[in-house]
Structure 1
């Protein structure tokens, strides 16, 4: 009787590569077969949202959302928001669109089928509409009774996610130049072009601009790992000052 062959378990790189191929295939199907622009955009956003919900630690929530502050000022609608539910309340949800308090936001992303100068500008504008919002910071009482001094809100991360990039050199000088043109609250920190690479802005000053770009075959998981590292570095978002929101009642 022939012995059964022992199956070799997949390596970590094979698991990552398999998921990336699946995401690219699904994004490509949505782009090719869904003709209505709104439906196509919705399908693309949901693919990225599902991916991040799968891989990010469960402390981070992911939704398509508007961001609102305690003065009632509203951001532009964000394709993808990463936010906290531990120290922050959830304002409102209707027909799949959430309204999230500014204090709870870790990161926002613009999601598009491909990278273009116009879409990079959109991503910067949407990031600015969130970063300009008022954020409160309340005191936290721990189980042991310690009261922590309110922490200053961290800088909200912003980026762009896409399937493709049509420039001759997809992750080259043109892309980098448009990113460099975004400054202050419009600046992007990271992103992913699933077919070509992930990027992280590592230095952005008036005199220099540096980014790290991954290999095409590791784009998706490089992005996830970079995002997770940056989120860990941010720590916990500040506790919301409930009384600032309650004053509208």
Structure 2
């Protein structure tokens, strides 16, 4: 007898929830192992980023690329190093790739996430500064030609920013007043839109208010929040490659 099949027949919602909780437990154990066995903080951070990237690649549609890197614009300005970039790999190539290093054109970016051991004020401020370093870059957008004519240049959407972590440091978890106050103070280029503490819950900021998911199953909740936000963005703008070329030739 296949227990999973029987469970799905008896209560499909419980079956689905339990399956995602098991997936979450695998990720939690991987992160716990790295914290207990890796003695170099930099290496441990890279390993944890890789674990989160692996999960995102598994669940996001193939139209989204997921990698660490630096974002670059048509003027040659660059962002800080970003732990996790969700970008368009289909129409926008990454540039100057070397091993795990790459430059992602600003126009290709859907979202940027910082991977940290926990959520607290310091790490939220840090993630906000990383997001600002991406959002302040210039993005181009040009019309798209097709057989029937031309689509107008796509309006630029706001880039999503978030934080992913194992724990939340406040005693009352994501429901903490301190989390609400910290997120409320992060506005404009430094706004944090969503996040997850695996041990607690996922959250998102929507229309100025903080919305928390139920405890348990935080990974699935975060993935669905992220998928919904990505879906709402549609597609990235078409890059004005002549602007990039002009910067290289000195004719910008």
Please report how far the alpha carbon of residue 15 of structure 1 lies from its aligned counterpart in structure 2 after TM superposition.
Answer: 1.6
**Residue deviations 1:199-226, cap 9 Å, x none?**
010122xxxxx11111221111111001
Change (3 A) 1:51 1:8: closer
Q: 1:34 aligns with which of 31, 34, 38?
A: 38
Change (3 A) 1:243 1:46: same
- Partner Cα separation in structure 2 for residue 7 and residue 218 of structure 1: 20
Aligned to 1:245: 244
Please report how far the alpha carbon of residue 8 of structure 1 lies from its aligned counterpart in structure 2 after TM superposition.
Answer: 4.3
- 2:173 partner SS: coil
Alignment RMSD: 1.3
Q: 1:150 aligns with which of 145, 150, 153?
A: 153
Structure 2 unaligned blocks of 5 or more: 9-14
Please report how far the alpha carbon of residue 59 of structure 1 lies from its aligned counterpart in structure 2 after TM superposition.
Answer: 0.2
Please report how far the alpha carbon of residue 87 of structure 1 lies from its aligned counterpart in structure 2 after TM superposition.
Answer: 2.4
Matches within 5 A, 1:93-242: 93-142=97-146, 144-171=147-174, 172-204=176-208, 210-242=209-241
Please report how far the alpha carbon of residue 95 of structure 1 lies from its aligned counterpart in structure 2 after TM superposition.
Answer: 2.9
Aligned to 2:26: 22
Change (3 A) 1:163 1:150: same
Aligned to 1:80: 84
* Contact persistence 1:141–1:147 (CA under 8 A): yes
Aligned to 2:56: 52
Aligned to 1:207: none
How many pairs were matched up? 239
Segments of 4+ moved more than 3 angstroms:
5-8
Question: Could you state the TM-score of these two structures normalised by the residue count of structure 2?
Answer: 0.91
1:61 aligned onto 2:53: no
- Partner Cα separation in structure 1 for residue 121 and residue 26 of structure 2: 27
- 2:207 partner SS: strand
Q: Which has the higher helix share?
A: 2
- 1:53 partner SS: helix
Question: Could you state the TM-score of these two structures normalised by the residue count of structure 1?
Answer: 0.92
Structure 1 unaligned blocks of 5 or more: 205-209
* Contact persistence 1:87–1:238 (CA under 8 A): no
- 2:224 partner SS: helix
- Partner Cα separation in structure 2 for residue 228 and residue 133 of structure 1: 24
Please report how far the alpha carbon of residue 13 of structure 1 lies from its aligned counterpart in structure 2 after TM superposition.
Answer: 1.4
- Partner Cα separation in structure 2 for residue 224 and residue 113 of structure 1: 18
